[in-house]
Structure 1
Amino acid sequence: MTTRAHWPRRRAGLVVVSIASTLAALVTSAGVAAPGSSAAAPAPITATETPAERATMLVVGDSYSSYYGDRHSRYPGWWALVAQDLGLEPQLEAAGGTGFLSRGVACDRTRYRARLDTVSTVRPRIMVVEGGRNDWRRCTADGRLVEATRTQIESAADRFFADLADVWDELDRPRADVYVMSPWGTSKARKGQIIRPILRDAAERYGFSWVQTRPLTLEQAPDGIHPNNEGSRFLRDQVLQNSDLSERFTRA
């Protein structure tokens, strides 16, 4: 199932007449960052320490994201660690087995394109698209899993990023504020050598930011796919080292 960490809606300011009510308002009120200009270059952002005031980082992904919890859980996800380091509030829209083309092993889940409504609803300050590991397979019309062709993967990726570009432009956000990554383990390494460049080229074609990540080792992903705690920390480090996020987001 998709795990979501909901971002609170903007509340109107309260008129207060006492010290006690003023303190209550400070604890409960929240706001979101105003939309930026899609024509402007990404600028440094200062994130506050109060969770209710943090800008949202929306993550669309697969089991590399959905199998893990927030930073307080026993197995915190890479996305939770990244959000914590940047002072952002994460919201997760992820489901195991899914991708740009794949709809899960039972063909009963949604592709990434079906989750674009969430982007419009959440209006995140930045977005991370994580995936590709499952897209070597696809579902037929009668619900069978078959191997996908390169052309089918390319078509699905291009269609997703084209639609995301339209949605993101409507939010008046710079496209560089969408970060795309395709983490991989030791399993099906040859598929990764095909799929990851496809996703990189499609993302960059539409002006999104590609984040290169080194494949996880067996010590970091013992099943060849899913990261353990060491693997999640490794992915966090890869995201921060191979993008401009650390330079753009600073704590107040």
Structure 2
Amino acid sequence: MPWRRLGLVALAIAGTLIALVTGAGAASPSTTPAASPTVAPVTVPAQPETMLVIGDSYSSYYGDRHSRYPGWWAMLATDLGLEPQLDAMGGTGFLSRSSSCAHTRFKARLDTVRAVDPRILMIEGGRNDWRRCTRDGRVVEATRTEIERATDGFFAELAGVWDELGHPRAEVYVMTPWGTTKARKGRIIRPIVQAAAERYGFSWVDTESLTLAQAPDGIHPNNDGSRFLRDQVLQNSDLADRFPRV
């Protein structure tokens, strides 16, 4: 009898051990590796390339595409899929430093060209270059020779900067918008700017003079005038072909 009781106790212990081992095995992690969670790649949108504009009040008096009075340059940049950047001051030009003689000529903005290193460079100006400032700060009428010298000097320096940046010179676009006032001076200045730009291999963009309906003060474009200038640039340059978003 004691032997039989001892055998039953042994069987009971063995059963308990089996249950413990089986339970531990069920609770242990599976030997099959768990699948790694799928992480979607982060897509960083491409930054648009820059279109830098150096100009006068035809550019500086106006805002971006969402403003009440968007500039011709803002409309153009939107059409081309470029990011516009503006360095423009009213009354300035290749020679002129404004009627107050307080601003800089275009030449002083070549550092902006170096810093921005734009995809496209627009030079808009010449309208104010019928005048110049004397050393004592007076405004006097400029001669043809003075206009030619200042314009050629600017484009000569710009050519060096643009070459340093490694861009084709044809990617600089030059225009001289004009209204109805000082039409005779326009017939002198616009050919001077065109000749100097083309002499250094830059792209001249011909623009028709704005009408009084497009520039009521005889100079500055209204919204219709700004759209007209944008259209002129697209029609009279290769930009629409080079940037097919248009």
Identify the TM-score tier after normalising by the shorter chain: 0.7 to 0.9
Q: Which residue of 1 aligns with 2:176?
A: 182
Is residue 186–residue 216 contact of structure 1 (8 Å, CA) maintained in 2?
Answer: yes
Verify the 8 A CA contact 1:87 1:250 in the aligned structure 2: no
- Higher normalized helix content (fraction of residues): 2
2:44 is paired with a residue whose SS is: helix
One-letter code of the match for 2:207? T
Q: Hey, what's the Cα distance between the residues in 2 that align with 1:66 and 1:185?
A: 16
Residue 129 of structure 2 corresponds to residue 135 of structure 1: yes
Listed as ranges, the matches of 1:29-48 within 5 Å are none
Equivalent residue letter for 1:103: R
2:44 matched residue in structure 1? 26
Query: 1:153 — aligned with what?
Result: 147
Corresponding residue for residue 69 of structure 2? 75
- Rounded to whole Å, the distance in 2 between the matches of 1:106 and 1:90 is 28
Match of 2:217 among 220, 223, 231: 223
Taking structure 1 as reference, are residues 145 and 171 closer, same or farther at Cα in structure 2, changes over 3 Å only? same
CA distance in 2, matches of 1:26, 1:129: 32
What SS class does the counterpart of residue 250 from structure 1 fall into? coil
Confirm or deny that 1:99 pairs with 2:117.
Answer: no
Mapped partners of 1:110, 1:184: distance in 2: 21
Measure, in 2, the Cα distance between the counterparts of 1:185 and 1:148.
20
CA distance in 2, matches of 1:185, 1:179: 20
The count of corresponding residues between Structure 1 and Structure 2 is 210
Structure-2 residue corresponding to 1:238:
232
Matched, 1:61 2:79: no
Q: Which has the larger radius of gyration?
A: 2
- 1:91-115 superposed Cα distances (whole Å, 9 cap, x missing partner): 0000000000000111010000000
Report Cα offsets for 1:68-104 as digits up to 9, x if no partner.
Answer: 0001000000000000001010000000000000001
C-alpha distance after superposition, 1:9-66 (max 9, x if no partner): xxxxxxxx9958x54x726xx6xxxxxxxxxxxxxxxxxxxxxx11110000000000
- The residue type equivalent to 1:68 in the other structure is Y
Which amino acid is the alignment partner of residue 131 of structure 2?
R
**After TM superposition, which residue ranges in structure 1, 4 or more long, deviate above 6 angstroms?**
none
RMSD (CA atoms): 1.6
Please say if 1:163 is aligned against 2:157.
Answer: yes
Deviation at residue 251 of structure 1 after TM alignment:
3.5
**One-letter amino acid of the counterpart of residue 171, structure 2:** D
Q: Are residues 1:205 and 2:199 paired?
A: yes
Task: Point out where structure 2 has 5 or more consecutive residues left out of the alignment.
Answer: 1-36
Q: Take 2:142 and 2:191, find their aligned partners in 1: how far apart are those partners?
A: 16
Q: For structure 1, list consecutive stretches of 5 or more residues without a partner in the other structure.
A: 1-16, 31-52
2:118 paired residue number: 124
CA contact (8 A) 1:57 1:90 kept: yes
TM-score after normalising by structure 2: 0.83
